[in-house]
Structure 1
């Protein structure tokens, strides 16, 4: 097979990037519109919905894991690995349960706030747990976020506990996931395996008082579809993350809370007094500072790669190489 020319390699990269962006946007779009889904499962309560989500997620993820041939990694997981999976399972169950409760009790905007501040919580966890050093813009972003939470606490008349629980549970969950030697698909399957006995036991205990069998087949189908609602965005995210740089996926992550916020404000018309708008504006300013610093930091290696590529072409004008092997252009 003849080597790729610069133009064909560039076209291939553009195609990969385009497909990766499409997968990433699809994942975050689905996560962004999920507030429209959970109310469809009522009159089931939040705990019953959570139990069905866990149980049906295991069914869907088991099929996907088998199709992708990922069961070997789960079977080979060490005792320490399973301990990390168990802790991650508790955190994701808390995150899912609080989010379902928030959506079904008209706190969509507060839930969206949790995912806006999640990147900042992750930075704070890196400092506290991993002893990472903050850069000046990160200090600035956190310095803006703290008064934002204070403003919102005054506005709500309480701490925005839904936002804080969602942000902290997902932040620690992400930290634990770094210690589990499984990809996202196999990891969620393993977490579902840990949680499913509790979820199924709860549904059996509910028996006839649950809504799965007492509200018609349509309601039962909606509850069972929670497995697909969990799995499909995850698969799209995984496909996108393999095709585009992680910094790109990081920028796309804001699409989900933006859509959730818009749903809460413009569709279900949750109250947004001026003080609450001010608090959110501070959060968005903090994210703008954080994001600009992230982009600036990621551009440095790319600029170095481009400079190396120009030097290589000047020294070897007839070469079809675009960069040294150890400095790939993405």
Structure 2
């Protein structure tokens, strides 16, 4: 077993490690504060200067600045108690206001472009040339906008049969920032759940800076299915569509019999009527081709006509010439 001295030694090391971690975490929190604001809302950025010596604002220079694309932009400047717009970036003019008691900066009408790291700097103005840096604090402004509830559409619409391939499309609009992940969730009747990545497109609106999402999934349906489209934002916020249900349509036995009778009624019966019509029409035409009384050249009489005549009761009457006979049929 370990001695009490060794246990005490390890305990001290653990306590020191915890204190170091807490101190490091506290420094990070003190130097970089995170603020979240929605697009169109108002951001509040505290400077964090406590002014322990109670220095008058007339002797201080307070300004907020932002680093963006390698360029430092002046967001707000208070020079000896007076607001100055000489160096202020044009995008922040008429949108900023400083609370002189708490030294908290207010930015109204937040846009996606306002997101980023801001720094508040406090200088003590000593004479006309020299300035002492009294305070500096950085904080991160996170701008967000919730995507609209995704809407799912099916193509082709209507009844779905087993084994049929359909296209599902989902759309969501006016969100920020670009989501970390989007996917389809498919649930079948036995409870099996599968996630699918599909053909996704993210379109940024140049006017607003917001994103629109379109996604298309081709799915072969073999059984009743539930479908959802899910957006996972960078703030661990999940936005899901309403559950879209796909039902496999089957034809019951009674409907199959009705379907068979319909085929008989609309297919076979008209064909039978057509056959009978053609039969009687041909028979009538054949009867009309044999005259009741006519003069026929006996030398040119074909065998076919002779057969027809033999089937009838006929007799001949000699005429004035030997070349012809008068035929009568009864």
Q: Of the two, which has the highest radius of gyration?
A: 2
Q: Is TM (by shorter chain) over 0.5?
A: no
- TM-score class, shorter-chain normalisation, is under 0.3
Greater RCO (Cα-Cα under 8 Å, separation 6 or more): 1
Q: Normalising by the residue count of structure 2, what TM-score does the alignment of the two structures yield?
A: 0.21
Q: Normalising by the residue count of structure 1, what TM-score does the alignment of the two structures yield?
A: 0.21
**Structure with the higher strand share, 1 or 2:** 2
